[in-house]
Chain A
Amino acid sequence: MTEIFGVPTQALFGQLLIGLINGSFYALLSLGLAVIFGLLNIINFSHGAQYMMGAFAAYFLLNKLGLNYWWALVLAPLTVGASGMLVERLMLSRLYKLDHLYGLLLTFGLALIIQGIFRHEFGSAGLPYSMPEQLTGGMNLGFMFLPKYRGWVIVASLAVCVATWFVIERTKLGAYLRAATENPTIVQAFGVNVPRMITLTYGFGVGLAGLAGVMAAPIYQVNPLMGADTIIVVFAVVVIGGMGSIMGAIVTGFGLGLVEGLTKVFYPEASNTVIFVIMALVLMVRPQGLFGSR
């Protein structure tokens, strides 16, 4: 068997694939963040909490209402998105005139409150959520055993990422959105209801976090802290990709998943720091991020 730096190539392929799977979560989460920042200029620190709420929504839909994973995939993002819109209408919309920092503080505070409530109610060990029956088991790819569910995560996340990118960058609706970011007054003069569009966009970004939460529920524990642990990494992904760049968020999400996966093979102890090292390097060389323009 051929080896690269003492690691058999077959094992390496397996690790790369795993990296890609983790990358799909990063991509999905950072996509939501990028949409919200790029179009609304809000640094949404409650994104992690909203991701966690998505997972909990899936849990409750299954255990209280008997609705399975596939229902959750649709309903949980809608519920979480709706809660996001409520937050935007009631609180965030009052802060647009102020510095970005206030939005950041508000969403950060909200995240702490939401996480605290969930932790108080459900403890930190988390709740079990079973995999949908259709996606249990896996297939042998020759170089590794790929659980079907993980394969599904890559496919679904890629599809959602591409669709979002297409809507924002290539359709008329996306053009309106981008125009509203540049100059809300003129867009409003053309008869577009800008505040409503902003609310819906925030709801959409938050919904993406909820969707990622549902997808994560069967793999990770449905845990009040799952978002707090992930959000820091995801912010690093967004910073590396360039704040607000949709394509940047997607490509960097998958890319950093790969890098992290490789670190887990060659130097596992550093696997949770490698992304921040890269972030520091990127900020030194290209402060606007890899795909950023400003």
Chain B
Amino acid sequence: MKFQRKLLAAAVMALSAGAVHAQISGNVIKIGVLNDQSSLYADLGGQGSVNAVKLAIEDFKAKEKGLTVEVIFADHQNKPDVGSQIARKWIDSEGVDMIIDTPNSGVALAVSEVVREKGKVFINSGAASSDLTGPKCTPNTVHWTYDTWMLANGTGNAIVKTGGDSWFFLTADYAFGHALERDTEAVVLKSGGKVVGKVRHPLNTQDFSSFLLQAQASKAKIIGLANAGGDTINSIKQASEFGIVKGGQNLAGLLVFLTDVHGLGLDKAQGLILTSTYYWDLNDQTRAFNKRFAAVNGGKYSTMVHAGVYAGTTHYLKAIAALKSDDGTKVVAKMKEMPTDDPLFGKGTIRADGRKIHPAYLMEVKKPSESKGPYDYYKVRATIPAEQAFRPLADGNCPLVAKK
């Protein structure tokens, strides 16, 4: 009788354990890092993002909590069709529960739609378009690290305030560039400045001299670079060649990553103003994370995209542990309900439109003489508090918010 009771208890326990497991599809939480692994955005995300996910899983102690987490990755080649195909394949036949990173706003917007349709989770760190939490927001997407509105509000505002009131835009000709140009233009006009011209260049352009010449001829005080990665590096490098800054015009790198400054070298990048939500040398916690990150990332330091991937994965796993389910739509709802807390971005929240809220920092690139060594590149000029750093909820035209 006693034995039977024990058996029964064991059976119930086994069943209940099974019940928890049954909520996790395939008993495995599968995370897919979908980003640029080989081209101009590979340094700011790339394998680094895969490493960041692995660190997050390690720190979450997933195994001790009885969760099996797997990571896979793929190269979307900066093509929206390739990206959404991979996302479909991953979800339909490989059991992927969450897709993360995905720089290139064009690809991100396409993948966001696929993930919504399949009811999974999309945590974006690498893409910039504020449309992801605006008109194109979905109940399955969280936009973690930064966006075009935040960049425009940070860098754009700071520059207009110091007298840069006439602008010429050099814009990457796809969703990201268009969004960044639009959001910055709005800030410039609102602050009483004017936009005297713009030119749109194809993604991944080698030679900017022709565009720079047009910018030079426009006589604008500020040449706003609404591009990223290799495009920004080449624009800045060639602008110095054509004596643009010496001629009295200034460059505004609207989206500049740590890896870009590294590639340019401080003598070309010094004095650039930029906005970032993470820098490895912000505090003890970021320094500790970066040390571990660099150790597994071939000595290359972490960008804000890597940080967002780490923090996003952490919060995602926390939500799953609390919910005991990996049902995509429910997990995202849980992620929005739970306050976030991680070593890299501190305490924060995720809004109804999917926007993660945290402070942003206005940075200035150091002079070569101020830098103590590799990657010692930024000094913080100002901190933009979390509630001012991102677009107000009501202004985004996100259908999820409008319905309320």
Interface residues in chain A, defined as those with a beta carbon under 8 Å from any beta carbon in chain B: 8, 11, 14-15, 18-19, 21-22, 119, 123-128, 130-131, 137-138, 144-145, 147, 149-150, 219-221, 223, 225-226, 229-230, 261, 264-265, 268-269, 271-272
List the A side residues contacting B211 at CB < 8 Å: 264, 268
A126 touches B230 (CB 8 A): yes
Task: Decide: A221 near B234, CB < 8 A? Known: A125-B229, A272-B202.
Answer: yes
Enumerate B63-79 residues with CB–CB distance to A below 8 Å: none
Say whether B39 contacts A124, CB under 8 Å. Answer: yes
A-B contact pairs, 21 of them (CB 8 A): A15-B210, A15-B213, A123-B43, A124-B41, A124-B230, A125-B233, A125-B259, A125-B260, A125-B263, A127-B263, A128-B263, A131-B241, A138-B241, A219-B241, A221-B233, A221-B234, A221-B263, A223-B230, A264-B201, A268-B199, A269-B200
Cα A125 to Cα B38 with chains together (Å)? 11
When the two chains form their complex, are residues A147 and B241 in contact, meaning their CB atoms are under 8 A apart?
yes
* Cβ < 8 Å to A, chain B residues 190-227: 199-202, 204-207, 209-211, 213-214, 216-217
Q: 1/0 contact trace for B34-50 toward A, CB 8 Å?
A: 00001111111010000
Known A-B contacts A124-B42, A131-B241; the reply to A230 vs B201 at CB < 8 A is: no
| Bound CA span A127–B260, Å | 10
Known: A265-B214, A269-B202. A149 touches B209 (CB 8 A): no
- Cβ–Cβ < 8 Å partners of B95 in chain A: none
Chain B, range 158-199, C-beta contacts under 8 Å to A: 173, 199
Tell me the smallest distance from the CB of B203 to a CB of chain A, in Å: 9
Are B42 and A229 within 8 A (Cβ)?
A: no
Given contacts A125-B262, A220-B207, A221-B230, contact A11 B243 (CB under 8 A): no
Q: Which residues of B contact A225 (CB under 8 A)?
A: 38-40, 230
Residue of chain B at shortest CB distance from A21: B209
Chain B's closest residue to A125 (CB) is: B263
Please name all residues of chain A whose beta carbon is closer than 8 Å to the beta carbon of B260 when the two chains form the complex. Answer: 125
Contact assessment for A119 and B42 in the assembled complex, using a CB-CB cutoff below 8 Å: yes
Chain B residues with CB under 8 Å of A21's CB are 209
Contact B38 A124 (CB under 8 A): yes
User: B225-266: contact bitstring with A at CB < 8 Å (1 yes, 0 no)?
Assistant: 000011001100110011100010000000000011011110
- Is the Cβ of B243 less than 8 Å from the Cβ of A147? yes
**Are B233 and A11 interface neighbours, CB within 8 A?**
no
With A21-B209, A264-B211, A268-B200 as contacts: A125 and B243 at CB distance below 8 Å: no
Q: A124-B230, A223-B230 are in contact. Are A18 and B213 (CB under 8 A)?
A: yes
Q: State the CA gap A127–B43 with chains docked (Å).
A: 12
* Cβ of B300 under 8 Å from chain A: yes
Number of residues from B at the complex interface, CB < 8 A: 43
Q: Quick one: closest A residue to B201, CB to CB?
A: A268
Q: Which residue of B lies closest to A230 (CB)?
A: B206
Tell me whether A11 and B263 are in contact (CB under 8 A): no
- Give Cα A59–Cα B372 distance, bound, in whole angstroms: 23
Least distance between B300 CB and chain A CB atoms (Å)? 6
A144, B209: Cα distance in complex, Å: 11
Residue ID in chain B nearest A218 by CB atoms = B241
8 Å CB contact of A123 from B42, B173, B267: B42
Q: Does B118 contact A (CB under 8 A)?
A: no
> Is B324 in contact with chain A by the CB < 8 A criterion?
no
A230–B205 CA distance with the chains assembled, in angstroms: 10
By a CB distance below 8 angstroms, the chain A residues around B40 are 124, 225
Residues of B within 8 A of A150 (CB): 209, 241
Given contacts A124-B230, A128-B263, contact A18 B210 (CB under 8 A): yes
Q: Which residues on the A side are within 8 Å of B216 (C-beta)?
A: 145
Whether a CB of chain A sits under 8 angstroms from the CB of B268 is: yes
The answer to whether A22 and B214 touch across the interface, beta carbons within 8 angstroms, is no
Q: Known contacts A221-B233, A268-B201, A271-B202; is A145 also within 8 Å of B247 by CB? A: yes
CB pair A149–B230 under 8 Å, yes or no, is no
Determine whether the beta carbon of B217 is less than 8 Å from that of A11.
yes
The digit string for B103-132, where 1 denotes a CB below 8 A from any CB of A, is 000000000000000000000000000000
How far apart sit A226 and B40, CA to CA, in the bound complex (Å)?
A: 10
State the CA gap A164–B328 with chains docked (Å). Answer: 64
Out of B41, B44, B242, B247, name the residue touching A147 (CB < 8 Å).
Answer: B242
Complex formed: what's the CA distance from A153 to B42 in Å?
Answer: 30
Rounded to whole Å, the gap between the CB of B270 and the closest CB of chain A is 13
Q: Contact at B213–A11, with CB atoms within 8 Å?
A: yes
Bound form: Cα–Cα A130–B241 in Å:
10
A24–B97 alpha-carbon span in the complex (Å): 51
Which residue of B is nearest A138, CB measured? Answer: B243
Tell whether A18 pairs with B209 under 8 Å between CB atoms, given A127-B263, A138-B243, A271-B202.
yes
The interface residues of chain B lying within 8 Å CB-to-CB of A226 are 206
Shortest beta-carbon contacts, A-B, top 10: A125-B263, A128-B265, A264-B210, A124-B42, A125-B43, A272-B202, A123-B43, A125-B259, A147-B241, A18-B209
The CA-CA distance from A57 to B319 in the complex, in Å, is 50
Docked complex Cα distance between A223 and B259 (Å)? 13
- What B residues does A15 contact at CB under 8 A? 210, 213
User: What is the CB-to-nearest-CB distance from A267 to chain B, in angstroms, rounded to a whole number?
Assistant: 10
**How close is B223's CB to chain A, nearest CB, in angstroms?**
15
Q: Which residues, 24 to 58 on B, are CB-close (under 8 Å) to A?
A: 38-44, 46
Q: CA A230 – CA B229 in complex, angstroms?
A: 18
Q: Please, how many angstroms separate the alpha-carbon atoms of A145 and B248 in the complex?
A: 14
Are B238 and A219 in touch, CB under 8 angstroms?
A: yes
- Smallest CB-CB separation from B260: which chain A residue? A125
Task: Give Cα A131 to B243, complex, Å.
Answer: 13
Additional A-B contacts beyond A119-B38, A221-B233 (9; CB < 8 A): A11-B217, A15-B213, A123-B42, A125-B229, A138-B242, A147-B243, A221-B234, A226-B206, A229-B204
